[in-house]
Amino acid sequence: MDSPGSTQKLENLLLVAVPRDLMDDEVIELRREILQAIRRHGSQVVLLDFSRVDICDSFFGRFIYTTSKMVELMGAKVIISGLQDVVIETMVELGMTLPGVDAVLDLDDALALSRSLSRQYNHLNETAPTGGDIADEE
Amino acid sequence: MLKQWLENRREELLAISLAFEHDQSEPLDDSVLYPLLETTLTAAGQTLDGKVNPTRAAVKIAQHAQDARLPLPGFIHSLDVLRRAAQYLLGQDVHAAADQLAWMGALNDLLFLTAQVAATMLGSGTEAELAEERHRLRALVDALPDFVFMKDRDSRFLLLNRAMAQFMGAETPQEIIGKDDFDLFPEVLAVQYRADEMEIMQSGRVKTGYEEQTVTREGEIRWMQSTKAPLRDSSGNVIGVVGMVRDITQIKQAHERERQQRQIIEAQQQAISELSTPIIPIMDRIIVMPLVGGIDTARARDIMRSLLAGIGQYRARIAILDITGVPVVDSGVAQHLDRTIQAARLKGAQTIVTGVSDAVAEIIINLGIDWSGVETERDLQTGLVTALERLGVQLTRRGKRM
Amino acid sequence: MAGQSRKDQLHFTIQHVADVSTSRRAGMQMAINMGFAQADATKIAVVISELARNILIYARTGTIIVKEHRGLNGKRGIKIIADDNGPGIPFLDKALTEGYTTSGGLGLGLSGSKRLMDEFYIHSEVGKGTNVTAVKWLNK
């Protein structure tokens, strides 16, 4: 499963390598892949890794925004990482600051975040066992 | 007669003044350029045939532009196009020619072109016409400040203008005619000139706007920009070369001075930008960037780049931007800072802005700048404590918690 | 698909999403070859991308030309010309306002692109089409 992007499970984290040129039809496919993987693995954090992307236009912005909304609906959270400095500079000047989307510096930080979130989640489960049920249905 | 003449003139003058009013800042598109070029070529052809004078040709082009209701070009632009057309007629790549000759006046080029074609047309027409043609050509080339010449296959001067003769230390052009470069220049230069001209005659191609050195009679080295083209007879055989040479020594010197100044300025700017955007790693994953002085767009960009690089280098999770030393915070500065903060966020670091004085706080609120997402602290010390807390580090003093 | 391209000019017919990436990649490369820094080349690529997408979304088909540009004072730059015969932009002022969109995008396309370039002109006529011409100078 490596087209268009490749997803990989790492603890509670779902690692998604966003392809360099993301096209409209691929977005739909990639998003479906992400949602299925969340369900399959019970991932709580989806890390979109942008280190391969060197041109990030508003279409990417929309992709990140809608993906994060959909992922939220499934009780998980999207974080991004790996944006190159020149890409960030361009995004910010374009006015595309992705409000509400968290970024982390690297995979270590992503893992730390996902661990702290899953501690909160476990804590939540202990006190309210019916909350946030994302059991595997397959 | 005079009245009629004035009537005609008025029309031209009107067209020129109208054309001048056009917006020249708008860019010229190829779909617009090429029809214009066609008109220009026709007009240039008519000029060469003596049917239209150069001013009239330029006006015609400006009129064409108006008639076609092109959103552009002014008179200047027409001249610009005319200049390109002249180069185009010489068989050159338009863009390359424009590159080489960006600083050249349009009319000069056209005059040169006229001279060249008129020269190659010698031998046609009646005796009287020929004499008239010669006279006009002579007047034309002698009026030019640039050097214009024709040489035969052995690179001996057939024709040259007054400016060139004077440069070579001759009273009149006649003194030079029949001589070659070996008679007139040091051997090393003459060899080079001869080689260039041989190449042009053999290839049949024009050599445009190349730079070369020469020496005056007094031994002073000058920089020249030369255009040389093969001279053909009526059946198209190459019978020599024609050339136009311009003394660009002053321009070269000016460019050199400019280049040196630019180097110095760039070096200074580099030094200043390093000084003005320092990154200080405070402790594990916390960096501080103290900003001193005004922040304009260029500096804001340096700050952003430097901060992003610092975050990457020190794996910072928290960046403290201390603005104590920024004298004026207006909406522009606030917006620049906001972009920097957003950029740091997208890189994966949180920013704390410290040194927000009462006055600054007031400005931010009064200007309606939304800094609700920005964490601010009074001073650097408080900011540091907040940063440490954020990372789960607790400061203790003599066993007591702070 | 990439159309005929002279050495100093790129010409693209935009009619498929693939043309978006082809044109922006080629434009970025041209900018780098001309000596633009990576950050500015990235901005140029993003603007080409935004304009190409606008053509696809609103007009379905159009052209993008990217070429070297020289100002009257001899400054060098890169020029992007986007042309379509689509429906035109009815409220141009609004379209240039941040956040305005009629297609469910983020609405940053035009206003954002304008910020990324040094010069930006839009000419649009409802029912006839839109022409955007943008320039970024190499050394300001």
At C124-138, the pLDDT tens digits run 888 888 899 999 999
Q: B297-314 vs B331-347: helix axis angle to the nearest 10? A: 20
Of B86, B73, B79, nearest to B105 by C-alpha is: B79
Look at residue A123 in the predicted model and tell me its pLDDT.
Answer: 64
pLDDT, average across residues B117-132: 50
Q: So what's the ipTM on this one?
A: 0.85
Domains and CATH numbers, chain C: 9-137 (3.30.565.10)
Task: Give first-to-last CA distance, chain C, whole Å.
Answer: 33
List, as ranges, residues 41-60 from C with C-beta within 8 Å of B.
Answer: none
**How far is the alpha carbon of B102 from chain C, nearest alpha carbon, in Å?**
7
Of A17, A19, A79, A18, nearest to A43 by C-alpha is: A79
How far is Cα B155 from Cα A72, in angstroms, rounded to an integer? Answer: 83
Go through C40-68 and write b for each residue having 16 or more CB atoms within 10 A of its CB, e for each that does not. bbbbbbbbbbbbbbbbbbbbeebbbbbbb
Number of domains in chain A: 1
- Inter-chain residue contact B346 with A83, CB threshold 8 Å: yes
The subunits that touch chain A, with at least 3 C-beta pairs less than 8 Å apart, are B, C
Instruction: Give whole-number Cα distances, B158 to B57, B59, B130, C69, in Å.
Output: 30, 35, 17, 40
Is any Cβ of chain C less than 8 angstroms from the Cβ of B71?
Answer: yes
**How far is the alpha carbon of B78 from chain A, nearest alpha carbon, in Å?**
37
How far is Cα A17 from Cα A10, in angstroms, rounded to an integer? Answer: 13
pLDDT, average across residues B191-202: 90
B253: pLDDT confidence band, cut at 50, 70 and 90? confident
- Per residue in B155-167, pLDDT (tens digit) is 899 888 888 888 8
Strand partners of residue B238: B232
Is any Cβ of chain B less than 8 angstroms from the Cβ of A21?
Answer: no
Look at residue C96 in the predicted model and tell me its pLDDT.
Answer: 66
Residues of chain C contacting B80 with CB distance shorter than 8 Å: 72
Residues of chain B contacting A80 with CB distance shorter than 8 Å: 346
Domains and CATH numbers, chain B: 1-143 (no CATH), 145-276 (3.30.450.20), 277-401 (3.30.750.24)
**How far is the alpha carbon of B77 from chain C, nearest alpha carbon, in Å?**
9
Reduced to 3 states, what is the DSSP secondary structure of residue C16? Answer: coil
Helices of type H across B277-351 = 297-314, 331-347
Position A27 in a domain: yes
Position A97 in a domain: yes
- Per residue in C17-76, pLDDT (tens digit) is 899 999 999 999 999 999 999 999 999 999 999 999 889 888 899 999 999 988 777 788
How far is Cα C140 from Cα C134, in angstroms, rounded to an integer? Answer: 15
- Inter-chain residue contact A85 with B349, CB threshold 8 Å: no
Is any Cβ of chain B less than 8 angstroms from the Cβ of C118?
Answer: no
Of C89, C71, C87, nearest to C79 by C-alpha is: C71
Residues of chain A contacting B317 with CB distance shorter than 8 Å: 105, 109
**How far is the alpha carbon of A11 from chain B, nearest alpha carbon, in Å?**
21
Q: Which helix (H) or strand (E) holds C137?
A: strand C129-137
Position A95 in a domain: yes
How far is Cα B85 from Cα B96, in angstroms, rounded to an integer? Answer: 12
Position A136 in a domain: no
Residue C80 confidence (pLDDT) above 90: yes
Q: Of A116-130, B57-71, B93-107, which has the strongest mean pLDDT?
A: A116-130
How far is Cα C40 from Cα C118, in angstroms, rounded to an integer? Answer: 11
Q: Which helix (H) or strand (E) holds B63?
A: helix B54-67
Q: Which amino acid, residue A123? A: H
What are φ and ψ of residue B92, in 5° steps? -100, 160
Position A133 in a domain: no
Residue B15 confidence (pLDDT) above 90: no
Q: Enter the tokens of residue B87.
A: 């180069």
- Inter-chain residue contact C72 with B95, CB threshold 8 Å: no
What are φ and ψ of residue A52, in 5° steps? -85, -10
**Residue-wise DSSP of C88-117:** --S-HHHHTSTT--SSSS-S-HHHHHHHHS
Which CATH number covers residue A48?
A: 3.30.750.24
8-state DSSP, B324: E
Instruction: Give whole-number Cα distances, C95 to A46, B26, B40, B66, in Å.
Output: 34, 21, 38, 30
Position A135 in a domain: no
On the CB side of B375, CA atoms within 13 Å amount to 17
Residues of chain B contacting A106 with CB distance shorter than 8 Å: 315, 348
Nearest Cα residue in chain B from A91: B343
A52: containing domain: 6-127
Q: Contacts by B332-337 with C-beta closer than 8 Å and gap 24+?
A: B332/B295, B332/B296, B333/B294, B333/B295, B333/B300, B334/B363, B334/B364, B334/B367, B334/B369, B334/B371, B335/B369, B336/B295, B336/B297, B336/B300, B336/B303, B337/B295, B337/B300
Is any Cβ of chain A less than 8 angstroms from the Cβ of B71?
Answer: no
* Sign of the torsion angle spanned by Cα atoms C124, C125, C126, C129: negative
Position A62 in a domain: yes
